[in-house]
Amino acid sequence: MANILTIIETAKLHGHNPEVYLTDVLTRIQDHPNDRLADLLPWQWRRRKTDTRRRDAEMIEPVMADALSRKP
């Protein structure tokens, strides 16, 4: 438990949303080259450009659907 909390707090310390960071890292780590694992550490991590648009769209759609479904 302490390990995951340390990762979350370190991601926050470096200005990352921990949920976005962990989702990206856990998705990428399987195919990531072993000699470049340091790229996935919070202080070196950069989100992939192609994932940004898809992630943003996925986050906006439910919010918009919820906002549209509310009655004034």
Position 3 scores a pLDDT of: 94
C-beta separation of 22 from 7 below 8 A: yes
Position 47 scores a pLDDT of: 81
- What is the domain range of residue 13? 2-69
Position 48 scores a pLDDT of: 73
Question: What is the reported pTM?
Answer: 0.62
Residue 43 to residue 25: CA distance in whole angstroms: 13
For the chain, list residues with pLDDT below 70. 49-72
- Token code pair at residue 50: 């192609």
Position 4 scores a pLDDT of: 92
**Count of the separate structural domains present in the chain:** 1
Report the residue count for the chain.
72
How many Cβ atoms sit within 10 Å of the Cβ of residue 10? 15
The angle subtended at Cα 17 by Cα 12 and Cα 23, nearest 5°, is 120
Residue bearing tokens 């995951």: 4
Position 72 scores a pLDDT of: 56
